[in-house]
Amino acid sequence: MQDRNLILIGFMGSGKTSVGLKLSYRLKMAVEDTDKLIERREGRSIRDIFASDGESYFRRKETQLLRELTKKKQSTRIYSVGGGTPVNPENRPLLKQLGTVIWLRIRPETVYARLEGDVTRPLLQCEDPLGRIRELMDERREAYAACADITVDVDGLEMEKILGRIERELRLEK
């Protein structure tokens, strides 16, 4: 078991939720999805939050939640955070303070293939989803890199290989 929280970051569709769940079984750590925590607090979906209060309101809720999590001092959890969480400069030190940050890096084409037709992603409800994915990934790349303690390229990898790479990197980090 890890003696530190693990924080999964990456673009939507990179596998943060799936990897978090599988990793939790392997490492015997609890897993939490910050988007789900916000949805429970708000009593509505991310999509509804974006529609009624906008992205900036949601981003404020993310930062507020991160501040609370860092104060809890829990050190045996895996947190999967929203794809845009690291973009806010205020969130980057909070993520690093919360634990070891693992960036699940993915190509735009892979994201598009995984999320094509997914209407639950507010940022992709547009005329050119692949173009929007590329644009957002370009905007977020530096933020992800600035946060990451570990980077794992996930394109074309089976879950077992992704988990193996994460575990190997965690051992090297100690």
* CATH number of the domain to which 36 belongs: 3.40.50.300
Structural domain range at position 89:
6-173
Structural domain contains residue 151: yes
21: tokens are: 């769940």
Structural domain contains residue 157: yes
The total number of structural domains in the chain stands at 1
Helix pair 55-72, 91-98: axis angle to 10 deg: 30
Give the pLDDT confidence of 75-109 residue by residue, as tens digits: 689 999 999 999 999 999 999 999 999 999 999 99
Q: What is the pLDDT of residue 150?
A: 96
- Residue 46 reports pLDDT greater than 50: yes
How deeply is 174 buried, as exposed, middle or buried, from its count of CB atoms within 10 A (0-12, 13-18, 19+)? Answer: exposed
Structural domain contains residue 117: yes
Q: Both ends of the chain: CA-CA distance in Å?
A: 13
- The predicted model gives 165-171 an average pLDDT of 93
Structural domain contains residue 111: yes
Structural domain contains residue 81: yes
Alpha-helical (H) ranges within the chain are 16-27, 34-42, 46-53, 55-72, 91-98, 108-115, 129-147, 159-173
- Residue 1 reports pLDDT greater than 60: no
Structural domain contains residue 1: no
